[in-house]
Amino acid sequence: MLSARYYIKMSQLRHLPALGRHFSLTKTSFENHSCKVLVVGGGTGGCAVTAKLSRKLKKTDLIVLEPSEEHYYQPLFTLIGAGIENIETARKSERACLTKNCTWLKDQAAEFDLNRNIVKTVQGHQIEYDYLIVSTGIIPRYEKIPGLLDALKDRSSGVCSIYLPKYVENVYPTMQRLNSGNAIFTFPNSPVKCPGAPQKICYLTEDYLRRENKRSKVNVIYNTSLPVIFGVKKYADALWKVCKSRNIAVNTRTNLVSIDPVKKEAVFENLDKPEVKTILPYSMLHVTPPMSTDESISNNKELTNSAGFVEVNKTSLQHVRFPNVFAIGDCSSSPNSKTAAAAAAQVEVVFENLQAVINGQKPLATYDGYASCPLVTGYDKCILAEFDYDLNPLETFPFSQDKERLSMYLLKKNIIPAIYWSLMMNGLWNGPAMFRKIMHLGRDK
């Protein structure tokens, strides 16, 4: 084992024997590294773009900076919360998801020096890069709501959340214990990953209560900070009909500000009249917490915009001030819905445009803001919402997708996860654009 006092460039490591499937570096081995492309974040977008780049670059030229040992397919968390799937179906090791032709540094970014092309890590490493891809996602901020963390620690409190692995498995037991009172579901006053999920778990809970003959004893309430139930009018109209037919109360511009776990009360503010506060008792309270980028991202004003997201051109996904920097997924400032489907469409754009920049060419690939949100409305039905930056429907199938369908539920439950693990993690899935053209006989849709 080499001592930490030895400083070795990554370009020299190609002469060393490979240690297992991945050459993982730790603080006790090396302190300085260099590479052609550094991918910060080994989530959905990070793994996918790394797989693509690994076919063009040597292992020593491609570093992935990711601290987690486990990788989760988070779109399944709603179904896990409803008792349909279990956590094992959504979890694989990070090692299994990353291509073997990259260098995985199991560490986390602490500081970005964009002028010197250096990232410093929590463990004290320093990584010099030629090109940088940021794909760190966004983080649930449960601590921002007073009383929430204490409530979540008590698994019998009635408070639950699908947004982290350590909390999601308590959602279904909370549903099972629900017999009367208010079941409240919240959407925060911040960007969130999978913005359809807060109401998906609401619909699934309502359907569960109906199937268990307990629905008449429970008031189901969806409180959202947004001014609409959904951003795309076509699907919003369909969802309003679902709520009306199933007696789900929807309150817009209503934001959760605190919880009293002892009294089992939630305090909400009216975002149009902040002085107006409403206190609601709950038997079940599903909380979608505020979310933001990691402090290493949000605190770097050269890297981000005023909201703390990596500031990129929304079509090229190239940084507006540093042309050798790109971003993928939830941490990006691109104003698309933050979903795995959006990341899939972005990966090919970043890959093509990065290749162009490396070759001294103008980046020409464009991202149209495509996002998909399979809005599960029950245990056997789903509305498949697909749309672009302008919130226009961008539907793959040759029928109107604003209807609840069993086929779309099965697509969400069985087919899309298989595509994710088998194709996207291997850099082979760029979203359904090609299939959309085939389905619509080559016409734009």
Interval 113-157: pLDDT, tens: 999 999 999 999 999 999 999 999 999 999 999 999 999 999 999
CB distance 302 to 178 below 8 Å: no
Q: How confident is the model at residue 441 (pLDDT cuts 50, 70, 90)?
A: confident
**Between 9 and 281, whose confidence is greater?**
281
How many Cβ atoms sit within 10 Å of the Cβ of residue 80?
22
Report CA 202 to chain centroid distance, whole Å.
19
pTM of the model: 0.91
CB distance 33 to 63 below 8 Å: yes
pLDDT at residue number 68: 97
Q: Which residues pair with 318 in a beta bridge?
A: 326
pLDDT at residue number 442: 63
Q: Is 51 helix (H, G, I), strand (E, B) or coil?
A: helix
The 3-class secondary structure across 143-169, one letter per residue, is: HHCCCHHHHHHCCCCCEECCCCHHHHC
Closest CA to 90 of 384, 424, 411, 421: 421
As a whole number, the mean pLDDT across the chain is 93
Q: Which of 194, 202, 243, 382 is labelled catalytic?
A: 194
pLDDT per residue over 375-400, tens digit each? 999 999 999 999 999 999 999 999 99
- The answer on pLDDT for 443 being more than 70 is no
Average pLDDT over residues 222-229: 98
Report CA 370 to chain centroid distance, whole Å.
15
- The answer on pLDDT for 21 being more than 90 is no
pLDDT at residue number 2: 32
pLDDT at residue number 24: 41
Asked about 373 being catalytic, the answer comes back as: yes
Q: How confident is the model at residue 445 (pLDDT cuts 50, 70, 90)?
A: low
Q: How confident is the model at residue 201 (pLDDT cuts 50, 70, 90)?
A: very high
- Render the burial of 210-226: b for 16+ CB within 10 Å, e for the rest: beeeebeebbbbbbbbb
- The answer on pLDDT for 234 being more than 60 is yes
Tokens read off for 139: 């983080």
Asked about 331 being catalytic, the answer comes back as: no
How many Cβ atoms sit within 10 Å of the Cβ of residue 417?
17
**Between 207 and 23, whose confidence is greater?**
207
pLDDT at residue number 325: 98
What domains lie within the chain, and their CATH numbers?
10-138+293-358 (3.50.50.60), 141-291 (3.50.50.60), 371-439 (no CATH)
- The answer on pLDDT for 109 being more than 50 is yes
